[in-house]
Each structure stands twice: as C-alpha cells, then as structure tokens.
C-alpha cells in the first residue's frame, strides 16, 4: 500500500513568518493530495488539495506544490497568524480516492 511520510512533526514560527510542511509518498499511482487542518478538539477540515496534473495551487496565504518525479508535496503558509496554529495532515489517494493514506501530522504553533 501507500506510505506517506510527513515532516516536521512540530513547527514553531513567529507571527508573520512563513511555514512549510513537507510530505513524501511511495505509490507513483497516487494522484490526489489533500491537506487538512485540525484545531484542538475539532474535526479535520480540508484547506487545500492538488491533483497530479497540476504542479502548484494557491488559495490566499496557502499554497501547495507537487513534485511527481520526486514524489513529494509541500504546504506553504505565508504571513502566518496565531489562528493558523493547529495540526496539519497531508494525505494521498489514487484513482477515485477510495483509500486515503494520511501523514502523521505537523503541530504548527504561531508565536504572536
């Protein structure tokens, strides 16, 4: 099956700085890569996703990049704010997305 690795496990940044979280995957057939944000005590929520036919996608302060050759994808958050503090999960899926494989999560702390 697929193996998704996520780094770092914890990340602290100063408010206004950028944060980058990286994930690698093992199955070259994976073609859908969502990112979820989970605030303390809450459910995971999709914040951005990318499909394998696209190299980069942006949504305001959030961007995701995908390198299919190297089998890695990254989440970039610019101008971080305290409300960005949460655990972020990457995931990989293939075909119609019946099975999802998640990374182990990154706990992001934005220091005011």
Partner 1 sequence: EAQVTQNPRYLITVTGKKLTVTCSQNMNHEYMSWYRQDPGLGLRQIYYSMNVEVTDKGDVPEGYKVSRKEKRNFPLILESPSPNQTSLYFCASRFWGTTDTQYFGPGTRLTVL
| CA–CA separation, 94 and 2 (whole Å) | 10
- Least distance from partner 1 to the Cβ atom of residue 67, Å: 19
Q: In this complex, which beta carbon is closest to partner 1, that of residue 77 or of residue 105?
A: 105
- Least distance from partner 1 to the Cβ atom of residue 98, Å: 6
**Sign, Cα dihedral of 80, 20, 26, 88:** negative
Residues within the interface to partner 1 (CB under 8 A): 1, 6, 9, 31-32, 34, 43-46, 49, 51, 89, 91, 93, 96-105
In the three-class reduction of DSSP (H, G, I as helix; E, B as strand; rest coil), residue 107 is classed as strand
């Amino acid at each position: 099956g697929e193996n998704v690795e996520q780094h770092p496990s914890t990340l602290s940044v100063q408010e206004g700085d950028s944060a980058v979280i990286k994930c690698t995957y093992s199955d070259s057939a994976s073609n859908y890569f969502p990112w979820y944000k989970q605030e303390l005590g809450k459910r995971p929520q999709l914040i951005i996703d990318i499909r394998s036919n696209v190299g980069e996608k942006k949504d305001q302060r959030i961007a995701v990049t995908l390198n299919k050759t190297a089998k890695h994808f990254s989440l970039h958050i610019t101008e971080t704010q305290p409300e960005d503090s949460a655990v972020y999960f990457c995931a990989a899926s293939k075909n119609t997305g019946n099975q999802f494989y998640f990374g182990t999560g990154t706990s992001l702390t934005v220091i005011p």
